[in-house]
Amino acid sequence: MSKSDEMLLNPYDAQVGSDGSESFFVFQKITEEGFKVPRFDLNVYQLAPELDHDWLDTGRNELIKLINTVKGQLTQDIYELISSNTLSTQTLLECCDKVTAGTVENKFVLLKRRYSILQGNVVDHKREDLPVIEPDLVFDVIMAAHLINGHLPWRKIHQHLKNLYANVTRDFTNLVTLYCSHCNTDRNMKRFLRYKHYNVYDKVMPLERCHVEIFAPFDDDGNEKIEDKYSHVLYCRDYHSRFVWMLPLEGITFRDLVPALTQLLCSMIRLPIFLETATLDRQDMFDVCEYIARKYKLKIGLGLNSGTDFQRNGVTRIKNLFAEHKEQCIKEWNMCLRLVLTRVNQNYSDRVRGIPSDLLCNEISNIAHKFKLKQRKIIDELYAHHVVQFREAGGMIYLEDDNSAFVVDEDEHGPENDNVPVTESPSKESMKSSNNIADNLLEPNNNSSIPSKRVLPSEKSSIRKNGSKKKINKEKVTDKGKMELSSPLSQAGNQDFQDLSEIPEPSSPYFRNTSISQRSKYADVSIEL
């Protein structure tokens, strides 16, 4: 492709030089995701002459004011001292009015430890040695990225630039894109208030609600295996504390999943009141939990929420850590625990404003008694057809209804804000009617024929291009004769859960003596706590 052909890809891909003689490309490179990284020497006014230039100037001034008030951000003066290698206590006192003679020494030491010069760029050691954009150029870089990528939304811009530069934040990208007169034609400006993160699930008790997911740590198909053995990971996270458990899986068959989930549940200090999932089909999750509850005499509840941003974001964060430490993690599972699990559980999390391990165990006094009372109250208030009591074997499985479902109070937490993690609330799509779910999962099955095998295709194949799931393959036999899940795993980023009419009846031989025989008794089961 010639240079002239490439320039036709986007009207902003090339810019006329300052002398008006020759054009040049405005991006340094194109990432694997197709994001064009802008150059630093761009003239935004020439790049987009159709925009309101006065509005751009206003935005640049507002961003500089914001940068100068944000703790931890370099001002232009301090940046120049570091880049010119002239930073000292004396020069710091002269250029920074917030520093006094009593605090200048500490400020100087912190700056020297955090920032240095690497290959001619100021880098931030706290942000994995990412380069720092000159504060006066932050507005132009973000705006240029917005323009040359087809007026990309601010969240997408932040998602790409935060991995390239140390000082690009959500606030900055949101503010800059508001000053694009093409996108914000009405000049509507949101009031920027800086909130501390709060725990949107603060009212949920520790271990009251957890979500269980299955995913391949390095690729969607599970081809890259940990220790050449484990293709997938069983992941569980507590809603309240964000504490995470992980177990390795050699495959995604029932034979792999049942013992792993049993080990996970039996090793917890308390069984969660409700389990939820975004990657397992509802029916498969029910079948597995039903078998475990019956065999090991456990009380297991299944929640309504599925496919929420909270669940997807949790998986995404863990997969990012796996990718970051891939070289060490792929060799040994214990390194996964050390570099991924320990980092998540024992470091401060601004999402919950605490350390997950502390919040899980030390926050509520007499929690064991309160937990039992809450579980008993929830089960007592459920409809009869939402509860299955295995009288002959012990154990219980119950389904959440609309009354016990937890929904974040949007009025209490206010409108969506860049610094407020409201995306972690359950999505409307995930809150299916509990009666419909119960009917699909618990209705009697009069069909006596049972398919012999249940197969789970790969995660990637479970999603159509338009975001909807494929029809479930109810009968399929693997080459090795293994029994696998009947329904495909949904990807963590999938927006919509499968239509309930497509959920198959439990039919694995693994559950021949658990699911089918019990179905005719579901409607008139009594609860014994």
Contact between 357 and 348 (Cβ < 8 Å): no
What are the DSSP E strand ranges found in 143-290? 209-215, 232-238, 244-249, 274-276
Task: State residue 76's pLDDT score.
Answer: 93
C-alpha distances (whole Å) from 418 to each of 12, 184, 350 are: 28, 17, 14
Task: State residue 473's pLDDT score.
Answer: 35
With tokens 């699990």, the residue in question is 341
Task: State residue 201's pLDDT score.
Answer: 81
| d(C-alpha 347, C-alpha 335), whole Å | 17
- Per DSSP, the chain holds a count of helices (H) and strands (E) of 20, 14
SS3 state at 293: helix
SS3 state at 233: strand
Could you say which DSSP state residue 469 is in? B
> How many Cα atoms within 13 Å fall on the side-chain side of residue 364?
16
DSSP string, 246-284: EEEES-SBHHHHHHHHHHHHHHSSS--SEEE-SSS-HHH
Could you say which DSSP state residue 445 is in? -
C-alpha distances (whole Å) from 241 to each of 72, 143, 204, 414 are: 27, 37, 9, 22
With tokens 């490309």, the residue in question is 25
With tokens 């999938």, the residue in question is 494
| d(C-alpha 191, C-alpha 205), whole Å | 34
Residue 274 main-chain phi, psi, to 5 deg: -135, 135
Task: State residue 508's pLDDT score.
Answer: 36
Q: Which of 254, 170, 270 is nearest to 214 (CA)?
A: 254
Pairing mode of beta strands 274-276, 130-131? unpaired
> Which two structure tokens, joined as six digits, stand for 141?
């870089």
Provide the 10 A C-beta neighbour count for residue 61: 11
What's the gap between Cα 403 and its chain centre?
A: 27
Provide the 10 A C-beta neighbour count for residue 47: 20
Give residue 136's identity as a one-letter amino acid code. Answer: D
Q: Which residues pair with 244 in a beta bridge?
A: 237
Q: Which of 294, 297, 299, 302 is nearest to 513 (CA)?
A: 294
Q: Is the pTM of this model over 0.75?
A: no
> How many Cα atoms within 13 Å fall on the side-chain side of residue 396?
21
Which parts of the chain register pLDDT below 70? 1-25, 190-198, 363, 403-529
Q: Which residues pair with 23 in a beta bridge?
A: 16
Residue 333 main-chain phi, psi, to 5 deg: -65, -35
Task: State residue 439's pLDDT score.
Answer: 59
| d(C-alpha 260, C-alpha 400), whole Å | 24
Task: State residue 272's pLDDT score.
Answer: 94
Query: Where is 138: in which H helix or E strand?
Result: helix 138-148
Contact between 14 and 23 (Cβ < 8 Å): yes
Per-residue exposure over 338-355, b if at least 16 CB sit within 10 Å of its own CB, e if not:
eebbeebbeeebebbebb
| d(C-alpha 299, C-alpha 315), whole Å | 26
What's the gap between Cα 287 and its chain centre?
A: 26
| d(C-alpha 449, C-alpha 375), whole Å | 37
C-alpha distances (whole Å) from 25 to each of 76, 136, 138 are: 27, 22, 19
Contact between 215 and 315 (Cβ < 8 Å): yes
Q: Which of 72, 59, 76, 31 is nearest to 140 (CA)?
A: 59
Task: State residue 485's pLDDT score.
Answer: 52
